[in-house]
Amino acid sequence: MLCSHHMRLTVHLPDDLARLLKQIALNEGKSMSALTAEALDFYLRERRRRALGLKALERAGKAPADPKALEALEEGRRELDRP
Amino acid sequence: MSLTALDTGFFVRLLQGDGRAVDRWRALVEGEGEGVVSGLSLVELLRLSLKGAIGREDAGILLDAIPAVCRVVWPNWTVGERSARLSHGLALPLVDAIVLATALEAGAEELWTTDAHLTAYEGRMRVVRL
């Protein structure tokens, strides 16, 4: 979700990328600013998603999980159903 | 794009290094399919860490990673009503039924779980028991 407040940011783009941005913005009826913000939002979220996902993956098999962790999970679920 | 529901036990298995859980998680991180997780799983993982069953730091990593990689769905009335019916019909504990109802409402094709009770479900969604 994009913030409703806007900050002016000057960036330098390679000519080819700038042409592509302009072309897609025209085709989709969006401003170049809006399309840039949309692309950046998607990219940054994807980057964060991947970084956090890989961090969890790095802990696989190395985390000191109690062998009885699944029993504790099961027990927790049963507790809620006891009369 | 395929949608996979992940139950709490999946993440315990992931931390334990279970090969199938690791491969499934890696695929989701790489953008192969989409994951959906009940908000109650986040609560259960936090509770397991408070009990010392999983490390607090590892729980923190999971609690950051899960909402970033998967869609987290908190129970609403639609899920609640379906959970009550599933719990009654399949004699499931309520949390199991909420996890199942969340997966079904989201339209998941598979539910990955460690919970034996959830294998009682037979329908269009496949239950994968780790």
Instruction: Summarize pLDDT for B76-93 with one digit per residue, the tens.
Output: 999 999 999 999 999 999
CA distance A58 to A55: 5
The DSSP secondary-structure symbol of A6 reads -
User: Which of helix, strand or coil describes residue A20?
Assistant: helix
Kind of pairing between the strands at B34-38 and B110-113: unpaired
Interface ipTM: 0.87
Q: Does B55 touch chain A (CB under 8 A)?
A: yes
Q: What is the mean pLDDT of residues A59-73?
A: 86
Nearest CA in chain A to B94: A81
Sequence letter at residue A2: L
Yes or no: say if A73 and B91 are a contact pair by the CB < 8 Å rule.
Answer: no
Contact status of A60 with chain B (Cβ, < 8 Å): yes
Tell me the pLDDT of chain B averaged across its residues: 96
- Determine which helix (DSSP H) or strand (DSSP E) holds B101, and give its type and residue range: helix B94-106
> What is the residue whose two structure tokens read 């290094």?
B17
The pLDDT tens digits for A9-65 are 999 999 999 999 999 999 999 999 999 999 999 999 999 999 999 999 999 998 777
- Compute the distance between CA of residue A5 and CA of residue B17 in angstroms, rounded to an integer: 44
Q: Which chain B positions have a beta carbon within 8 Å of A80's beta carbon?
A: 93-95
Query: Is there a contact between B41 and A29 (Cβ–Cβ < 8 Å)?
Result: no
As a whole number of Å, the end-to-end CA separation of chain B is 23
Query: How many Å apart are CA B130 and CA B94, to the nearest integer?
Result: 20
Inter-chain CB proximity A53 and B94 less than 8 Å: no
- The whole-angstrom distance between A38's CA and the closest CA on chain B is 18
Q: For the whole model, what pTM was predicted?
A: 0.88
